[in-house]
Structure 1
Amino acid sequence: MTTSGIIRAGIGGWTFAPWEGTFYPDDLPKKRQLEYASRQLPTIEVNGTYYSAFKPPTFTKWASETPEGFVFSLKAIRFATNRRVLAEAGESVQRFLDSGISELGEKLGPILWQFAPTKKFDPEDFEGFLKLLPEKQDGIRLRHVLEVRHPSFVVPEFAALARKYGTAICYAHHFTYPEMADVTADFVYARLQRGEDSIPTAYAPADLDAWADRIRTWAEGGMPGDLPLADETVKLEAKPRDVFVYFIHEGKVRAPQAAQALMERAV
């Protein structure tokens, strides 16, 4: 019987000039960067899909360049989330889902729906948005993640809505965004954004040790006891959960090394 979910730690994107010579070999052609990165790390979060639409051949190409077991997380198009009335986002949501993401097949990981820091929690409108998120696309299961950035979301009502629709709340380890580690889906998604370029692994070794412990706890079905929650009254069902962790933004130069160091500790 499986007692732990799959742990995957990765980075945001694979094209970043400072990684040339620090993560990528000096003589590696840019066109082979995805091929290389996907063999050093088990997952990558794609940021480009937030800003523009891609077509099926692009997703097919990404799938062909990566090994079995590798997973892409996709940041959903911004036109679906950067709007006054979220419940009216149906056309943008469906256009993104129809853009060819199913070409990734088993390599399609969670879809991150990111909201602006100015977007406040409106329970009725937000539930209207959640109703727009389907469970499948072209027969492939979809896993949805909500990254909210306004403190008004740190309430039990938001966690309850996320849990009702089986969507994960993104835990953001960030200097200003609210932190919510509530487990509301059958997987966990975290973005670690307090790294430093001056540290060889972005996060100090002791901090990575602590994160490895938290991640193993999530994967084994538990809840780390030192992270803030929106609702502290819910009793979590103990069952194995896959965990996706990404080193993003701060400390980005050393993000690949951070992900590798975390994988060494956590699995």
Structure 2
Amino acid sequence: MKNQILIGCSSYYNSFWKKVFYPQSLPSKEWFNFYCQHFDTYEFNGSFYKFPTLKFFQNWYNKSPEVFLFSIKVPKEITHIKKLQDCEGLLEDFYEVCKNGMKEKLGAILFQFPPSYAFSREKLHSIIGILNYNFQNVIEFRHESWWNAEVWNSFKENNITFCSVSHPDLPKTIFTDFPLLYVRFHGIPKMFHSSYSTNELTDIHSVIDSKKKGFIYFNNTASEAGILNALELKRMHV
């Protein structure tokens, strides 16, 4: 694991990947095991849609390799519905389930906010005030107003990582001076579908190559693009 930068995907259960990644004859129940033979991390997005139970995460812990890390997305109830308002207990429950279920395999905790969530100082202070700093917190914004020095400085002071994104409507800066390097490649120009060229991946690799710790996930998984891009970048980073 060069420089401890782990590369993976935000999905694995994908019929588009048959033949290009999964052997044609491999049953779908074996796909995750096959994925784990090629990657050391997985960005778990299922928790965004349904609040996870301890048993649920324990099952994922047990079926993953001994050396493996999961990054876990915070439920949308917290980030999209309540938008951090009056959910201190709910968030603490989520942290506890992640810690006790994933144990040493827990990587980052990913908060993804909706495009309607525009910057304000009140919201910034709300984020800083509610996080549990015993965890590696990563914040992904979908509104460009958050790309500002006040946010970046506050995050650095509080050991919070600002998520770098490759997204059709957002700045494409890869941030390297936060606690973690955390990059999500969503696909450009067609979100979730578009592939990144070898030249683009080479440029990306030149930026991340000297960084010591982080996660890179390909979320362009509505086609075969995500897995092929992840494999190519991983080969560059060996």
State TM-score, norm by structure 1. Answer: 0.80
- The question of whether the paired residues in 2 share the 8 Å contact of 1:120 and 1:152 is answered with yes
Equivalenced residues, count: 234
Give the stretch that moved more between structures: 109-118 or 184-193. 184-193
Letter matched to residue 57 of structure 1 = K
Give the stretch that moved more between structures: 8-17 or 180-189. 180-189
Amino-acid identity (%): 24
Letter matched to residue 59 of structure 1 = F
Which residue, 221, 226, 229 being the options, matches 1:258?
229
- Separation (CA, whole Å) in 2 of partners of 1:87 and 1:51: 18
Shift of 1:124: 2.4
Letter matched to residue 212 of structure 1 = H
Change (3 A) 1:97 1:159: same
- Separation (CA, whole Å) in 1 of partners of 2:82 and 2:103: 33
Change (3 A) 1:248 1:98: same
- Separation (CA, whole Å) in 1 of partners of 2:62 and 2:173: 36
- Separation (CA, whole Å) in 1 of partners of 2:60 and 2:83: 33
Shift of 1:184: 5.1
- Separation (CA, whole Å) in 2 of partners of 1:63 and 1:111: 16
Structure with higher helix content: 2
Shift of 1:160: 1.4
Question: What is the match of residue 225 of structure 1?
Answer: none
Question: What is the match of residue 163 of structure 1?
Answer: 156
* 1:186 correspondence with 2:176: no
Which residue, 143, 146, 159 being the options, matches 2:136?
143
User: Deviation per CA, 1:210-232, whole angstroms, max 9, x where unpaired?
Assistant: 11111113x1xxxxxxxxxxxxx
- The question of whether the paired residues in 2 share the 8 Å contact of 1:53 and 1:99 is answered with no
Within 5 Å, which residues of 2 pair with 1:28-177?
A: 28-83=26-81, 86-136=84-134, 142-177=135-170
- Separation (CA, whole Å) in 1 of partners of 2:126 and 2:177: 18
- Separation (CA, whole Å) in 1 of partners of 2:29 and 2:83: 40
- Separation (CA, whole Å) in 1 of partners of 2:162 and 2:223: 23
- Separation (CA, whole Å) in 2 of partners of 1:96 and 1:102: 10
Question: What is the match of residue 209 of structure 2?
Answer: 216
Q: Give the CA RMSD over aligned residues.
A: 2.3
- The question of whether the paired residues in 2 share the 8 Å contact of 1:87 and 1:125 is answered with no
Letter matched to residue 118 of structure 1 = S
Change (3 A) 1:70 1:252: farther
Question: What is the match of residue 213 of structure 2?
Answer: 242
- The question of whether the paired residues in 2 share the 8 Å contact of 1:47 and 1:74 is answered with yes
Letter matched to residue 6 of structure 1 = Q
Shift of 1:92: 2.6
SS at match of 1:69: coil
State TM-score, norm by structure 2. Answer: 0.88
Give the stretch that moved more between structures: 180-189 or 163-172. 180-189
Change (3 A) 1:29 1:81: same
Change (3 A) 1:5 1:194: same
Question: What is the match of residue 5 of structure 1?
Answer: 3
SS at match of 2:6: strand
Shift of 1:36: 1.1
Unaligned runs of 5+ in 2: none
SS at match of 1:88: coil
Shift of 1:9: 0.9
